[in-house]
Amino acid sequence: MLSSFSECKRNLVDGNLAVLPTETVYGLAANGLKSEAVNKIFRLKGRPANNPVILHISGLDEARPYAVITKNAEILAERFWPGPLTLLLNKKNIIPENVTASLNTVGIRSPSNKVFRRMLNELAFPLAAPSANPSNRTSPTTSAQVIEMFGSKCPPVLDDGQTALGLESTVIDLSSKVPTILRPGHVTTGEIEDCLSSYISTGHDNLKSGKFSHKSPGNNLKHYSPKTPTMLHRSLGSCIKSNELHRNELVLVYSQDAVERLNKFECTTWSLSEKGILEEVGRSLFKSLHEADTQNFKKIHLILLVEGDDLSLAINDRITRACAKQD
């Protein structure tokens, strides 16, 4: 149910859950220092215990009690915080085991959403807040999507409209010798390399090989999935040649030109951006998957983008996992 700021704050102080907006997706929040409160996140989401959650704080100084802050962490926080970058660092003992899936590392992020930051500033503890959806379902970018997915079990929801970015944060592992991107997002490998003046490993081949790291959330082989069956295509051309486009099926494309190329087929076509602007595609992707689930399509066709050192890597990561078979 939609609730006020004060009601959500009271729930969090009492050790219960609240749904809060971030600039990426809506988060299911709880006191990140209370194991019992964090357990409520896992139970409501049906989240596996080996999938850690990210700890949200207002800034770098607030992160120091919870993690070992390295020089690289200071540099990246200065450049990208508050914003969609999660730093994976060696944890301190104050962090509950269920936050980190019993690992020695913890993911920490400073979100830029003003509502979430106000909540952090009024609380005496950090917030654990994974995406506010049942495990492996599509992440929510509106409060209505959260309420639809959780139904009568939904905790109080603080509405702030559609999220600004629509995709989860980049996660970079700074706990090892070579910094490694564990989950791509709006902050790209190139931007991080420029900032640190050093090589960054992407770990991008892990998805293709079926490997994934439990050190970061969002890395299950199947993730971000709508209820409607999905089919992945390597390109628009291969989608057209597949002879798989039928009535009552949806194709998500990235420009109006692509819509026109599909006009001869009986399928429905939605464009995530008029002119192929990646930021628009990223903001619209999860929203469109949620909308498609309400339209009773028999299948959703998703098409890989040509990858560069930009948001295309994150978008392809999400749609590939959305179309993967259950791991």
Residue 198: CATH number of its domain: 3.90.870.10
pLDDT level of residue 204 (50, 70, 90 thresholds): low
Q: How much of the chain exceeds pLDDT 70, in percent?
A: 96
220 found inside a domain:
no
Residues 168 and 89 in one domain: yes
Per-residue pLDDT, 221:
82
pLDDT mean over 40-65 = 97
Would the pLDDT of 233 be above 60?
yes
Per-residue pLDDT, 290:
98
Domain that holds residue 304: 230-323
| pLDDT 10s digits, 69-83 | 999 999 999 999 999
Which regions of 247-298 does DSSP assign to beta strands (E)? 249-253, 268-271
222 found inside a domain:
no
pLDDT level of residue 32 (50, 70, 90 thresholds): very high
Stretch (H or E) spanning 303? strand 299-303
Would the pLDDT of 325 be above 60?
yes
Would the pLDDT of 232 be above 70?
yes
The answer to whether the peptide bond before residue 226 is cis (omega within 30 degrees of 0) is: no
* Chosen domain end from 209, 241, 275: 209
Task: Please say whether the beta carbons of 21 and 116 come within 8 A.
Answer: yes
Which stretch of 52-61, 140-149, 238-247 has the lowest confidence by average pLDDT?
A: 238-247
Tallying the residues shown for the chain, one arrives at 327
- R_g of the chain, CA atoms, integer Å: 19
* Chosen domain end from 209, 244, 265: 209
Task: Please say whether the beta carbons of 23 and 166 come within 8 A.
Answer: no
Which stretch of 11-15, 43-47, 244-248, 322-326 has the lowest confidence by average pLDDT?
A: 322-326
Cα of 83 vs its chain's centroid, Å: 13
Residues 74 and 186 in one domain: yes
Residues 155 and 93 in one domain: yes
| pLDDT 10s digits, 86-105 | 999 999 999 999 999 999 99
Residues 124 and 193 in one domain: yes
The Cα 154–Cα 167 span in angstroms is 22
Answer with the residue of higher pLDDT: 273 or 204: 273
Q: How much of the chain exceeds pLDDT 90, in percent?
A: 90
Q: pTM of the prediction?
A: 0.95
Residues 158 and 263 in one domain: no
Per-residue pLDDT, 327:
53
Q: What is the CATH number of the domain that holds 255?
A: 3.40.50.11030
Would the pLDDT of 211 be above 80?
no
The Cα 324–Cα 321 span in angstroms is 5
Residues 172 and 244 in one domain: no
Per-residue pLDDT, 326:
65
The Cα 36–Cα 62 span in angstroms is 22
Per-residue pLDDT, 206:
52
Residues 178 and 34 in one domain: yes
The total of structural domains in the chain comes to 2
pLDDT level of residue 209 (50, 70, 90 thresholds): very low
Which stretch of 157-171, 198-212, 307-321 has the lowest confidence by average pLDDT?
A: 198-212
pLDDT mean over 196-217 = 72
Mean pLDDT rounded to a whole number for the chain: 94
What is the 8-class DSSP label of residue 196?
A: H
Residues 114 and 236 in one domain: no
Using alpha carbons only, what angle is made at residue 38 by residues 36 and 42, rounded to the nearest 5 degrees?
Answer: 110
Backbone φ, ψ for residue 144 (5° rounding): -60, -35
Residues 77 and 109 in one domain: yes
Task: Please say whether the beta carbons of 173 and 151 come within 8 A.
Answer: no
Residues 202 and 291 in one domain: no
Would the pLDDT of 33 be above 60?
yes
Would the pLDDT of 203 be above 80?
no
- Closest listed residue to residue 67, CA positions, set 52, 38, 87, 50: 87
| pLDDT 10s digits, 163-202 | 999 999 999 999 988 999 999 999 999 999 999 999 999 8
CB atoms within 10 A of CB 320: 18
